[in-house]
Amino acid sequence: MDLASHVALVTGGSSGIGRAVVGALARAGAAVAFTYRSNAAGADAVVAELAGVAPVVALQGDVAVDGDVARVVSATVARFGRLTIVVNNAGIIRDALALRMTPADWQAVLDVNLSGALRVCRHAVPHLIAAGGGRIVNIASIAGVVGSPGQANYAAAKAGLIGLTEALALELAPHGITVNAVAPGAIDAGIVATLPDDQRRRLIEVIPLGRMGTAAEVAAAVAFLASPEAGFITGQTLVVDGGATVRAWRSADPP
């Protein structure tokens, strides 16, 4: 996949899946700007890792703040001259059972994981149109496909992100912009990488492939959807979960 001459903006790129996405796009030839909220050390490490690979710049900003989003989009275009790829990856969790979840924790997750993606698209899409088209890839989750106990806010936000993906795909197709989502399952990165061994074993037990996925495998799916080869794919959600959702669906079948 050749992304030379493309310019990408990745939100939440200082660690985990976002960091892998930044690396995958840069190694495919794209110039990449990525955002971070507070992990300055992680952001510096990403820039250092990719020095000499492709032009990469880290921009501090919070996708829950419209002014921050406007600033990082403008800074990306000012730095690289155009914008052709957007990856909405920034996300947070505030887990609790639904009846114990505070209104603040509910709202915070929706503001970042769902509304944050819309904010980025609102500011970025005019630049994609000006570039003659482009790609938007939203990082959803299997929690938005089959639900997740203790994560009502997260599951609702990710399900909403899948719906947003489909709506934007229809709205932006006339402008030559494709909009797709990637829904990772249990990925051995971020919080999952720090889980105790017994919790990790329980996660793996429900994955038909018998292992967790890697951030690099998710990033490869994102890079494909961002590439010219995916030009006739839009409004779709690519699940990257080792077969876990297939098992969940089949377990609900009548005997």
Catalytic residues: 154
- HEC letters along the chain: CCCCCCEEEECCCCCHHHHHHHHHHHHCCCEEEEEECCCHHHHHHHHHHCCCCCCEEEEECCCCCHHHHHHHHHHHHHHHCCCCEEEECCCCCCCECHHHCCHHHHHHHHHHHHHHHHHHHHHHHHHHHHCCCEEEEEECCCHHHHCCCCEHHHHHHHHHHHHHHHHHHHHHHHHCEEEEEEEECCECCCCHHHCCHHHHHHHHHCCCCCCCECHHHHHHHHHHHCCHHHCCCCCCEEEECCCHHHHHHHHCCCC
